[in-house]
A and B are shown apart, each in its own frame.
Chain A
């Protein structure tokens, strides 16, 4: 398959940005159409156009694990559920976001290595299930001078200063991140290869052409290593999940956020499921569920073919946002029923933007076979709208 010819959007793209990070301001308002200069995200215009995800393209690895700088937004999402030998459970999230500040056509050759075209943001969170504690931190930096970046060749690597994931061999990765309180050092081994989500990695998110992303996953990463938490060291092992996604405008006009599930079941299958929520409360028709079979093949279900029922809610004491907190997922055609519940309720990240991303446990059956497993759920747009951000 040939790489899709990007169609450029005309004129100016206006958005409120991530740069809220830089100044560290917190956006509390629901709408992104805030006024410049008030205490919210800084707003600015970027001249020119970015490449858009409009059709399936062919991928080449590890090259395509690196950054695709012609697209405006890109992320590398690592989540995992780990436990000590004694059964003490931890969840972790290490995410790198890239945002292009200068469109391809406006880029100029600069003598200085420091010239900013790309910005990297990273979130690092650890869930200590036993003590119901949740640690989060955030980093930001320019994707220049070697301070932050993502490369696919010769081996894949994504990093923001001392937070990094680095490929060390075929299907072998090293992950490191630390804050004052938490430090992790993991070895990851990809057990299932690269999983192309959607239509061969092309994942539509909205009506308009280009409201889509390219989406690659590594859904079963055997993980071993150490967690240092508040001076204590834990030897842990378990499974991690990686999502790599890039696009220029994923969310459509009316979409305000999404609920995203990644579940790793004990029958060697994984489920990736997202529902896109519209402003009127309805579920967007591009919401999708995917089952990744033991052989790496995927089975897709459209929004009519699955159902997510929320049976619990949790109100954040920090932001007041009300999140769903307990679900039942049903895919009738394969007779799948899974109950999903957070390992601890408060896994809300109050960083540059507000969202919930937490370790979950799921239990149920597919047909007659009972299944269970751990996973992660991401809930966005409850504390604030995500549109225009990604």
Chain B
């Protein structure tokens, strides 16, 4: 049943008609999602949150290509995110490029930085790589903060964009972002199945063995950094647009950790897992920022804060929950949401047994 008879069958996106049908249904669902959200306020969602989830999903996919598939650790993706955001805004505002040119340029500049970071990363492994990328992420924001060209500490105002003469709102951005995201998800799925993706996976499993098999480590490791940075850069550009305002203080180390958390919670080496992880953590983050509004738990937490903690820092509960989720996932479900999904699927397939 699952025998592959040719190479093209192996790299095919839709393995069976069932998957094709479900994928199309899912795309239709994504298309009408804004109306559903508007009409029913599902779980207190808004279109802005949907946009944010999609953008974070893009970053998580990019980071997963690097961390989950190639096995390189990066704790500096907020740096690429910032590069993408600032490049997009500057190209649109200062040099009045249209969005569809500025966004790819931002992606490519970001991936150029990814390539540069990939060069020292060739010699580094594990914890050392984590330190170096952490330093990269923090340095990028420091440099941006101290250069007048990037608006300095004040940051930059994102441009107002027009679609056929009308100013774009969240709903318009939703479709723009979703089209880009669907294309990039398909791109990532394809990339992993082809020669490049298999080289990445070989490097993850054992780089020495991969080199012995003829995988060019220099080429593929830097390529992995570049692709990952490209995804993050594009997402950064979109983030600047929906936020309307960017300043370097926003792109902190916490943001890099949050991206890493999305990948790990979603499942290492799984594109769909990344999307799920990004959706879950982004949603939790936004909802827990205003923890006092949650019914039942909210007032209790407020009372507790007033008695023992401080009210000014109640939004920090979001950070605590984030940290707990990260630790619990690593301890109890190392494959994340994806691993949970696989186990559930296997359970139902072999149900009576």
A, B co-complexed: no
Question: Interface of A with B (CB < 8 Å)?
Answer: none
Question: Interface of B with A (CB < 8 Å)?
Answer: none
